[in-house]
Amino acid sequence: MKRNILVLAFLSVGALSQAQFISNGLAVSVIGDGSGALTAAASQTRIFAFDKSTAAQAGQFVVGFNGGSSGDRLTNSGTATSEGHLLNSVDGRGLTIMGYDTAVGTASVAGTTSANVNRVVGLVGFDSTITYTKYTNAFSASNPRSAVTVDGSEYWMAGAGNVGGIVYGPGSGGTVTQVSTGLANTRVIGIFGGDIYFTSQSGSFIGLNKISGLPNTGSTPVNLFTQTGMSPYGFFIKDDRTIYVADDRNNVNGGIQKWTFDGSGWSLAYTLGTGATNVGARGLAGEIDGNGNAVLYAITSEASANRLITITDTGSSAGALTLSSAAQNTIYRGVAFTPVPEPATMLALGAGLAALVARRKRK
């Protein structure tokens, strides 16, 4: 009996030790394996983990999506800067990313039809397991860009093409339904307070937009704010009066914009620089520190050797710290927080540790 308890304890601890994500860290999507220059062909997609404060990190490899000749796959265009965004599920237990169900090397992959090359959502758990969910009519002949979910049972996705814009798809895969009536080209999606938010650079929806609720049929988006020439990507909603948006313009307007609400409308407070002159940002995640300041983590928009940076917003002059730079022939695309383990995993760990302690006390 004692031996069985000890085995259970070691198995419980071992199960958690196999989870490759670091706790309370950052996850970054990396396009390319470094073996050759990135092109418009399908490239290897991987996820690396980083801690939140250490400069000049190499990162820890966590997940490599299948890019082979068969099986469930997820690859991304090597040069499509709008692809590969990484987002946390609302329940915090998974990371979502969109791509193509095709092999590395597929030429001009963004131009393929979704009937021939399904668009796919990858959901990655704390233990590095991957769930691939394929859609046969989403973002045909264009880019699948980002996806978000509450708990993996259904997805809302952003991208362009036919069917494009903001779309809804069941967790079982199959076909999607357009949600964003009158808009077929969007970038990064998110859920805040039970509503959908997303960025776009299309028509009257340039900037940040909102769709009330989590609909699975057509709804009309509302543009919250915009700016002439704006090129928005990832965003972080600190609260109902403060929103940060990554802008990838490589001029004085690029960086991380801080927008504030005065009760009647939104206005641009200032733009935080990325630590390099005239370099913007695309991926963005954020949290709030003990002083109430937003702590931002962003992916910069250089064409090569782009960076994972962090900025604590203490004012318009707050500076950026570079946590990591992409290796040769790779590019960073998205950033999110590392997922949290399932409750059952934590219970198993607790039971295992308790058994070890109890056994030690009986000796």
Q: What CATH number corresponds to the domain at position 78?
A: 2.120.10.30
In a domain, 361, yes or no: no
Q: Look at the chain and report how many structural domains it folds into.
A: 1
pTM (2 d.p.): 0.91
Q: Alpha helices, DSSP H only, in 209-296?
A: none
In a domain, 281, yes or no: yes
In a domain, 2, yes or no: no
In a domain, 124, yes or no: yes
In a domain, 53, yes or no: yes
In a domain, 262, yes or no: yes
Contact 242, 260 (CB under 8 A): yes
Structural domain for 88, as ranges = 20-340
- pLDDT value, residue 39: 98
In a domain, 1, yes or no: no
Contact 257, 225 (CB under 8 A): no
- pLDDT value, residue 344: 57
- pLDDT value, residue 342: 80
Contact 143, 175 (CB under 8 A): no
- pLDDT value, residue 343: 78
In a domain, 354, yes or no: no
Q: What are phi and psi of 235, to 5 degrees?
A: -150, 160
Strand order of the β-sheet with 242-247 is 232-239, 242-247, 255-261, 266-272
| pLDDT mean by block of 10 residues, the chain; 363 residues | 35 38 95 98 98 96 97 98 98 98 98 98 96 98 98 98 98 98 98 98 98 97 98 98 98 97 97 98 98 98 98 98 98 98 59 42 44
